Amino acid sequence: MTEQFFSVRGLRKAFGGLVAVRDVSFDIPKGSIMGLIGPNGSGKTTVLNLITAELTPDSGSVLFEGKEIVGLQSFQVCRTKIARTFQLVRVLPYMTTRENVMLGRMFGSEPVSPAEAAHDADSFLERVGMAGKADMFASQLTYIDQKRIELARALATHPQLLLLDEWLAGLNPTELRIGIDLIRQIRREGVTIVMIEHVMEAIRALCDRCVVLNAGGKIAEGTPQSVLSDPEVMHAYLGIDDAAA
């Protein structure tokens, strides 16, 4: 049997009586883009938090290149070459954009000296369209530019698996096309991607497969076309029966 690049098996997490993630399993082939979609509150971000050790699962397994990563701390997960962005942007406001990205380079999977990190940070900033703002404080940036800085910092850790939590949310149509092209380029460079996204244009354009969650459980898996036409998925998103649509 071929070893999967990344696998989640029977992942479960409850907060008191609320089961946020209910026995979720999926596999991600190397070099692919998988969409993790579903209505608000369906458990998508909780799954990413369990993968990256922001939370500890009650049960289940997370395997990266055949190795169990449940039980690692967040910085150890990062050093296995898994990086992420956050639904609510996390930047260090009183550091410059360059310094924010330097942290990813210095403490990621291939740590380097501050001098080398500063040099490399500028190339990552250029990659996300922020080359002219390297010396600005993160607090001076717009929300969209802060999202770009967070992506540059994640890329600076040299990930093999990149988890994007609604990174395209809030972009105008021009920015959305640029963002889609950037994600395509990251994939071409060999990075496997999981993206939580409500922008269905991006899901259709980028994803090989999708996993759909609702109320913490997986209700569908397949190509974007197949899952988005699934009556159960339509009901979960719209709250209506397919026949009434």
The rounded mean pLDDT for the chain is 92
User: Which residue carries 């709250």 as its tokens?
Assistant: 239
Q: What single string gives the DSSP state of each residue in 60-89?
A: EEEEETTEE-TT--HHHHHHTTEEE--SS-
Residue 240 reports pLDDT greater than 80: no
- Residue range(s) occupied by CATH 3.40.50.300 in the chain: 1-79+159-166+188-245
Q: Locate 149 and state its tokens.
A: 């800085």
Question: Which pTM value belongs to this model?
Answer: 0.92
pLDDT per position as a tens digit, 94-120? 999 999 999 999 998 888 899 999 989
* Multiple choice CATH, 1-79+159-166+188-245, 3.40.190.10, 3.90.1010.10, 3.40.50.150, 3.40.50.300: 3.40.50.300
What pLDDT is recorded for position 245? 34
Q: Locate 125 and state its tokens.
A: 């900033």
